[in-house]
Amino acid sequence: MSVIEKLNSIQNKEMTAKENVENFIKVIDEKNEELNIFLEVNTESALKQAEAIDKKIANGEKVGFLSGLVFGIKANINVEDYIISAASKTLDNYFGSYNATVIDKILAEDGIILGITNMDEFAAGSSTETSCFGPTQNPAAPGRIPGGSSGGSAAAVAAEMCDIALGSDTGGSIRNPASHCGVVGFKPTYGAVSRQGLLDLSMSLDQIGPLANDTSGIALALNAISDYDETECTTLKGERSDFTSVLEEKSLEGMKIAVCKEFIDVTDAEINVAVNKAIHKLVEAGAELVEVSFDHIDLCLPTYYLINYVEFFSATRKYDGRDYGYRIENVCGEEVLRRIEIGSYISQKEYSGKFYKKALQARSLIRDEINAMLENVDLIVGPTVPKLPHKIGDELTPMEMYAYDVLTVIANLAGIPAGSIKAGEVDGIPVGLQIQAKPLDDLKIIKAMSVFENEN
């Protein structure tokens, strides 16, 4: 059943929240040792939450709109009394002392927090191989990476270990693993969801978002976590959408969608075949298809990584081993150290103007062009990731690893919403269809993904 069907089943007393939790715990007990998805599970706490929800339902009391749904949380989002390590030895003894805003919002709507999922160390990676706890297996493509950095969250959903998972997306870290694991992932408009309680990778790019096996799970999660937060300076004021309002849609009449030749050109041919079939389904549902061009695709990766390096270096200065954890440079992995060292170099006064300021100028150029592309269309559609996930243990150069992100970093640089939904498979391996929209047009993406599912 879909996530919203399960929610209705719990609220209608056809199943209990406790049964929902117990079913997931059984799967975790059977599969987690092999797949290495959850780093920590608090069975006792989850069952207590479930029992309290079941009691309210039995007594006819009002319950939240997530009542009994089970969440996995990426290891860089603060949850009180859980180890929030960001999959790094730097913080492997750090217990969250408070809840991130998104966690409080989930709990307020009677969502259940089951545990903490694996990830690339400090979100620095695209494969979940840089975790100090070891790599996560891809349940949808055994032996291959699940993508990253939110690979544990995507794999938890794909392995049916939770209803919904939260990840963070700095340059594709929700959408990339959603594509590789064959699930749905969503990066909201920058500022639509509070970042309070998220361990920074790059503060001007980071965004928290959900993953689920269907669009209804994404919509329910967004209804809970999308809101203004007076404690977090990047969040946006304004009226919020009801993302569940479009879940029954079956038509895209009046909607104009665009494909971009440059996105197709950098993507492997077999992935384009699967993605084109998915796009054709959107056209069959009534969307008008047009073509747009993007002249600055070669600028995207260097611009993204230069900004990432500098902001990550700044963010890691608090990990000096004095107040908590260990000094990051003494215990971190190779990729994290690479980013710190390059960020330190670029941050020096004599190089800032040469690199970082130039990257900010390039970012403005990219943002302006993306906004111009979206001016006369509702959505841009195309592949999420340009190549298939490699086998765990394969040695890739940094540039080969970074190449996974070429199509996803654009949304982060521009601050626009973007989602990934399973387009099909290549040799049994899932590939994703990425859908992007104007800032604050998140609902249009949810509508398109709902129509795509309802057409299948």
Angstrom CA distances, 40 to 72, 278, 324, stand at 10, 37, 20
- The catalytic residue among 6, 18, 31, 74 is 74
Are the beta carbons of 438 and 429 closer than 8 angstroms? no
Instruction: State the DSSP string of 176-223.
Output: HHHHHHT-EEEEPPTTSB--TTBPPS-TTT--EEEEESSHHHHHHHHH
d(CA 206, CA 191) in angstroms, rounded, equals: 10
d(CA 445, CA 417) in angstroms, rounded, equals: 8
- The catalytic residue among 150, 173, 194, 450 is 173
d(CA 331, CA 354) in angstroms, rounded, equals: 31
Task: Enumerate the β-bridge partners of residue 186.
Answer: 419
Please confirm, yes or no, whether 74 is among the known catalytic residues.
yes
Q: Tell me whether strands 112-117 and 38-41 are parallel, antiparallel or unpaired.
A: antiparallel
Please confirm, yes or no, whether 344 is among the known catalytic residues.
no
d(CA 141, CA 211) in angstroms, rounded, equals: 18
Are the beta carbons of 20 and 50 closer than 8 angstroms? yes
Are the beta carbons of 53 and 147 closer than 8 angstroms? no
Please confirm, yes or no, whether 173 is among the known catalytic residues.
yes
- The catalytic residue among 88, 126, 131, 149 is 149
Active site residues: 74, 149, 173
